[in-house]
Amino acid sequence: MDRISAALLQDWAWLPYGYLFLVAGAAAWIDQRTGLIPNRLTLPSYLVLPGLIAVVAVLSGDWQPLWQALVGGLSLALAYLALAAIAPGQMGMGDVKLAGLLGMGLAHSGWPALAIGAMAGPLFGALQGLLLTSKGQGAGRTFPFAPAMCLGALVGLLAGPLLM
C-alpha cells in the first residue's frame, strides 16, 4: 500500500466504528426511555454500516474484514433471534436487529472482539437483572436490554484487540 492509500485508510478506518457508536448510543438511550428500539434507527443502518466497512475494504484492499463483519452480524442476529424465540416477550425484535449491527462491528474488529462482546452483553444484562431484583424491582418485570448489549459490545471492541 502506498503512503497516500495508507493515509486515506487511516482517515476513514474509524468511520464504521463512529457510526456504530452513534447508532448504539441512540438505541440504548431510546430503549432505556421507551422500551423500544425503532426500526427507523436500525434498518437503515443495515445499509450504512456495511457500506462504511466496504469503503474501508476498498481503501485497504483487504476484503476479509467485510466478510467477517457480514458473517458476525448474521451470527449474532441469529443467536439473539433464537433467544427471542426461546423466551417470547422477554427480548424484542429491536434487540435482535441491534445485535446484528453490533455483531458486524465486533466481527469487523476481529473474532475475539465478537466472542467477548457477544458474551459480555448478556452478562451485563444478567447483572442488571440481579441488581433490580435485589432492590425488589426486577421480579416479573422486563427491562431494556440494549444498554447491556451496547456496553458488552464496547467491552468486546476494547478487549478483543488485546487478545489478538
What is the pLDDT, as a whole number, of residue 87? Answer: 85
Task: Quote the CA–CA distance of 55 and 131 in Å, as a whole number.
Answer: 42
Which own/partner contact pairs does 89-94 have at CB distance under 8 Å and 24+ positions apart?
89/142, 90/142, 91/145, 92/36, 92/37, 94/27, 94/31, 94/36, 94/37, 94/38, 94/39, 94/42, 94/146
pLDDT digits (tens, 9 = 90+) for 50-74: 999 999 999 888 999 999 999 999 9
The pLDDT tens digits for 129-140 are 888 787 776 556
d(CA 117, CA 110): 11
pLDDT tens profile 110-123: 999 999 999 999 99
Specify whether the CB–CB gap between 61 and 47 falls below 8 A: no
Contact 102, 155 (CB under 8 A): no
Query: Domain boundaries in the chain?
Result: 3-163
**Could you tell me the pTM of the whole model?**
0.90
